[in-house]
Structure 1
């Protein structure tokens, strides 16, 4: 018989982070969790949580004990273990070379300028709606090869993938799960059509590069390419939006940093890296 999860007198449920104040500054809660319940079972969410760096590192580096596989029918970078994970990663890396990423910079700058241009003459803008949210979706859409005419529908799909439940009820979670499942099915059909088009007529986009990637005779399957495109849409969308928002948050909380970056623009790259550490996007 399995031993029942240990009960803690100072147990802090994760849902206590749902308040606006705790979400904006959760670090005291994290410190208490690391100190008091570094490994614990959350009864509300029905899962185990690990809070200390050394323990997290151990879990992530031991796939035989802590597998990432959730659905053996589908292969994704997030849901496979070595050696399959390494094979997928090596193939995907053929399309994500440093040279290929660097080549995206001018177009990303151009899209950013286009989003900012309508607001430069005004007194204010909405950082999320006007810049941080649309920017990654547009970039990812172009990267994958989504036509501009489909961008609005693509954005709607993207929003559903990162959407949260309307409340903590079981009904709300089930409703969201059904909506996301329908959404993924529609995306799967859409991306499969793009793949078939690129097989017949390759273009200078990520899908064509992924289809062409090959290591020792091994290539990505259609399902694996589609799963990666969906993963990119999820992982690259919300994280980038939050990174931009968090960077501006830091600059508003510590205005002296604004002057420092204006005087030393060469520090911007390291400031972005520091934002990722100081206010992680997840």
Structure 2
């Protein structure tokens, strides 16, 4: 088994992750805790079982809070609670999203607004909420999870791909505005990561084979591939990277 990289500067860092108790988010929580970071996360569902699993593995539990991230006031309150528990947030990972499929002709104004309220709006307001604490500490790192879906012009979930594109633009603007404070903003666009949700809802043998054929690297993506990239972006190993979109997709899309 190949061991991942260790980033000593992440030890003791206060990390906040949206959607950190399931899917890729749960792997991110596990990955940061493995680096010695103090992790807080929000999740709509109860995360007691997952926290127990983390305590058994790492000897301590993450600070889990139930929250609907579309409720900005509640999200900001949770970030404040995380700062009280673990100190001002030094690493923020905006991860939670909803990629439910939908036909463009069926989209209502209500659906559109709710989609953006989950997939884009919280990314900005969570970022806004950690800036003062990061500035006071002399810097910090924000990683915004996007997707290659918008880069591919993916059909069948236009509100989601629109939010993904917005995340990239927002990341670049915030990186420019807060670079003088040594606060770094980067985005990460995964390809098709085979989480349990993806396997249950979307993966078919034919669809997966066709996607892997588009990749330069002929292996499927695992959650750990995304964790490793996020840890790098959070650490001082990437200290001069900001305003960038990192793609981890096996070579489906190209940037530059």
Structure with more of its chain in strand, by fraction: 2
TM-score greater than 0.5 by the shorter chain: no
> So what's the TM-score if we normalise by structure 2?
0.29
* Relative contact order higher in (CA < 8 Å, ≥ 6 apart): 2
Which structure: larger Rg? 1
What TM-score do you get using the length of structure 1 for normalisation? 0.27
